Structure formats: structure tokens, C-alpha cells
Amino acid sequence: MKILKRIIFGLLALVGIILIAGLLMNRNYAMEREVTINLPKDSVFQYIKHIKNQDQFSVWNKKDPNSKRTFTGTDGQVGFIYSWDSTMDEVGAGDQEIKKIVEGERIDFELRFKRPFEANDMAYFSTESISPNQTKVKWGFTGTMPYPMNAMMPLMNMDEMMGKDLQKGLDDLKIILEKK
């Protein structure tokens, strides 16, 4: 009986530590990756501002080419919504909406994940001219991990987990655009 009590108290102490850690830890996360594409900025921007083009380079879009996809509005304009619904857990369901465009400079998106977990996060693409025929593209993502799950962020390393997918998408984008 003493062993059982120690196990129960140990588990309660562990849960308490996790809950306290979650209160003390940051809930926000952010990651950004970049690539240099050997094309003028306007050409690159006109391609990336259309969400439908992400099907060609986004790691997440390519994971389930058979997912149900719907579109609302005019692609490349504020208010356009791209929705997906996949039977694959790693793809899930949600939508992405263009929230703001600074023409030639930046596109801001809101991502609303519905499955396998619910979350609202923000993402963006930005372009910067390095030379007349070279453009730096940045792809960034910001979000908030709900309490008490935020206590797991040091173990999850969101930047490493998602950052490699952002970089792979940007590397694929470079290949696609430089072939045109």
C-alpha cells in the first residue's frame, strides 16, 4: 500500500510541476526560413501571392494530393480562402486566408487548423530585392501553444520540427521558379 501511495504522490507531483512550468513558460513560438531565388522580385512575388501555387512547393500541400480542396474568393487577393480536408492525420483539415498584401513586398495569411488539433496561427511570405535578378524570399510562421501544452515546447522544438518543412518548401520554390 505504501508503494502505491508513493506512486500516486509521485504522479501528482509530476503533473503539478508540468502545470506550474506551463504557467511560467512562454506560449508563443515563431520560425522563419529564407532562400535566394535568381529572378526579379516582381516575378517571384506574383507567383507566391497565389495560394494555389503552394500545391507545387509546400511540403504540407504535397503530402496528400487527394485531399479535398475548396477555394473561396479570388486567389492572390485579400480575403481569398484555401480550405483542405484530408483523411491523413498529418495533413488534417483547416483553411488559409490571405489577410493582407503589401504589393511586391509581403503577404500575410491566417491559418485556421481544425484537425488533428485546433489552432489559429499566422504565416507570411516576404520578398526583398538583392539585385535586379535576385530575390530573397522569407517564409515565416507564428503561433501560440495553449496552456498547459506549452510546457512541452522545449521537448518539441517547434522551430526544428516545422523549420525543416519551411526550408524544403522554399528550396522547392527556388527550383520551380528558376526552371521557368
7 in a structural domain? no
Q: How far apart are CA 109 and CA 100, in angstroms?
A: 7
Backbone angles phi, psi at 68, to 5 degrees: -75, 125
Per-residue pLDDT in tens (0 to 9) along the chain, 180 residues:
788 888 888 887 777 777 666 666 777 778 999 999 999 999 999 999 999 999 999 998 898 988 999 999 999 999 999 999 999 988 999 999 999 999 999 999 999 999 988 889 999 999 999 999 999 999 999 877 766 665 666 666 667 778 899 999 999 999 999 996
Please tell me the pTM assigned to this model. 0.81
CATH number of the domain where residue 169 is located = 3.30.530.20
Q: How far apart are CA 21 and CA 152, in angstroms?
A: 9
147: containing domain: 27-179
162 in a structural domain? yes
Report pLDDT for 10.
Answer: 83
